[in-house]
Structure 1
């Protein structure tokens, strides 16, 4: 009898590649049982077509409160009991709340932010160049860029960045226990609740204010629902992009031909394509898209029964050769827009237009402004975020 593998699986020698054991599963486009932290055995779905099929299937639920839902850790499970956002709901509840936010993240609106994002990026590069060498790219640049942007968008003071960045790290750490998370989440929700209350008294030109004015006043959303939305947007709005900035930079430094092509181009289409390829190649949501079956479904020749948990391994699906020839190569000229880094189906990432603009500005500016950017430590000394739900590096020492 074959032993059920443990998930998540350890990475191999290349820190940018998904786990070798997961790659072996995908060789057969397999759908197989794995064992997670609580002893349960959900199904891991590999293969690009299988992943898209599951993520688009209305018989599969994203509701994290349903029995059988495979939470990534005890802390995350406890956190979702306290603060449940629309990404862990199903339609029609999910669609109703998402529609309230969609206009704020439309492509045209995010494009209008490009000059301000450029200003933020240039200012942080100026500060880094004027400071000591080596510098930690994470703290000096990667974290501040999306944090400043999402704070301005939501109407949250950036002066609180040390607090909310620390909370965010703990919320997405696999090591945070349920007991540690409860008071942390309570304090964070109270912090955001004060912002919502202040917008009710004195609304401004920001997203939280618009939710209060347009949705809370009409009864479409409660105060607490807005607080939970703000929690999702603040955490997701800086953590994911920050990790893509730092990890993407490291990947490019390890692929100097690709870095040179990106640094030397003035073609916005090549820059946009490079962003998509880095999103595909790195797939920082390396803990999979978590779901639970509402009915019996067939996937990859296997029957997943109603009530059984599912982990869609989008990281390995983005390395499927049937969708991306030579998938383990980083090629910024590849047409990779059909990747699954932002998910697929009705639950795909709401903030992807913002993330794309931020990354396009960063990748087209940082290496041009600092053409001699280099690692200040060997690759094997870089501390990767194997312990976090979002993959990246804890810090990245660079020089120039």
Structure 2
């Protein structure tokens, strides 16, 4: 029989989705895969009910409905601080996952190099490989997850076609500072490199931190491909409505890739989500307050459980240090955690190129009662670990 593509040997199935499957099997609280267990804004769900009767039910324009692109351009102009042409500078995709893949395939040729910060959302390495590109991994060093400037300069000296920037960061919760973004942008201009941003958590940033769009920095719109989605902002991860904002010459080519990958995002969902884009500014401030409160609730529980972590600045993830528990793999620990403690996390090693085996990722995008129950279970972790010989002897 013919051989399967050799590209697939370089990465595994999604560890995040694997942990969800194991969590479902054992009835654990799923703090692994990052989706809420609470409803979207009522305005959106009410609109969907009406659309179920009235439509649209057929194909939309492949790069997104006119109304959605116009509404998105209006909203993003306000928050990005740049003028956006809805006809020339936006393409609607099937989630930000497709947006990232389209971006990579639009700008990368086989054997091009792409800088990826490590740890990284697990799709980025796979996106590079599937595009025929070669990842250059630059470490973000725990516990603060800052990059070494010399290491980044050396990566740029390899003349990469692009750098991928997740801001706010999944899995670390890091929000890149203006100084860091300016340093990256100057290197991108010096070495004539694209910046592909993943900004799905753009509105989930805790004070005093602020999200700064790379596209808004001087001279950066023309070389930035901004990817995002409506999934996290409006708690509709299953709707798969994403988008790319970039200069016209990039979008014209991204449209071609998107057309042949998926044709288009679901027409009824594009219509319904318009109600979300028309929500007042207060919605986004309340969203920030909501996730700040959930973060603080969950971190207080981790403190009470005696667990060490890095305090997230944005997104809804927290990296927890499990060094005191085991010399065995973080994958084994996470499976034990699901079966014996009843809480699901993601092994940190799935996010790192480096050999890191002492971190796991939880998310806190859950109802308060879900988080309180998860905390209750996590408070039993050390006792159960000791009885199961997972806790190291001091």
TM-score tier, shorter chain, comes to under 0.3
Which structure dedicates a bigger proportion of its chain to helix? 1
Relative to the length of structure 1, the TM-score reads 0.28
